[in-house]
Amino acid sequence: MDVVNHKKKLLLVGSKGMLAQKIAARAAGEWEIIAVDLPDFDLTDQAQVLATVQRLSPAVIINCAAFTNVDACESEEEVATRVNGSAVGTLAEAAHAASATLVHISTDYVFSGTGNTPLSEKDIVGPQSAYGRSKLLGEQSILTSRLEKFIILRTSWLYGPGGNNFVETIIRLAKQREKLGIVADQIGSPTYTGDLADAIFSILASDVDPYGIYHFSNDGACSWYDFALKIVDLARKNGENLKIKEIAPIRTEDYPLPAKRPAYSVFSKEKYCQLTGKSIPFWQDSLAKYFIER
């Protein structure tokens, strides 16, 4: 007797990335996951994207593919614009043709970061970097497409297993150096990939029309300096052999980088909470969970 597969198809684009790995783990058992990434799948190859989506006919496409090296985007803006911007429009076109829902991951960098109150989905955008401009173009490519079934999910300060992130960088440096200077005048909210993956499926499972733009990060806010202090504290408690003796707060101008960072990018998550009825874990609790996992 033939076994009939009643699982819905989920096309996971950029499947090797840090967030995608968590999405795949979260979706296992419930969805038929089709994972695609470079070199076999190139998001900037329009013909390939359209043909692949048409052939696979997924119910949901989650786009985790992106050029995320923020500073490299400054010198390679054309590449960033293609990957993070125009290619997303192709994916939206393909999703529309396949009657699929597109979930696209965006960023706090689409905002100027000059305010001091939590940012809602209705706040005015104003990217200050090539990365931010390219990601905003990706959002606009979806919004101006024919696709109606889309979820744009903006997030910030992402970390998790299976990828380069601030948490692992701080642990590595704390093993190598006795003193670190960490920026203390940029305020945001760390986001654990496991919580973001859960949020995606909570939105998709909504009984009401879930389409549109959402903000999601872990609850609470901190500076990179505060974040680093907590990372080192947890690393010590978890038995890491650290050399670090002092972490000093510094200003953004003391640590110049090619790309301008938002000074304040704390999100209001009210829209997400109202849709899903879910509470959001505090960043300290999720960071502790990550240390247990790693």
Contacts (Cβ under 8 Å, ≥6 apart) of 80: 67, 73, 130, 131, 134
Q: Residue 227: which H helix or E strand, with range?
A: helix 224-237
Task: Tell me if 18 sits within 8 A of 68, measured CB to CB.
Answer: no
Distances in Å between the alpha carbon of 116 and those of 111, 262, 266? Answer: 12, 11, 8
Contacts of 34 by beta carbon, 8 Å cutoff, 6+ apart: 9, 10, 11, 12, 56, 58
Catalytic: which of 131, 214, 225, 272?
131
Q: Which helix (H) or strand (E) holds 131?
A: helix 130-143
Strand 187-188 and strand 222-223: the pairing is antiparallel
Contacts of 32 (CB under 8 A, 6+ apart): 5, 7, 8, 9, 10
Catalytic site includes residue 214: no
| 150 bridge partner residues | 102
* Of 216, 163, 171, 213, residue with least CA distance to 191: 216
The set of catalytic residues is 131
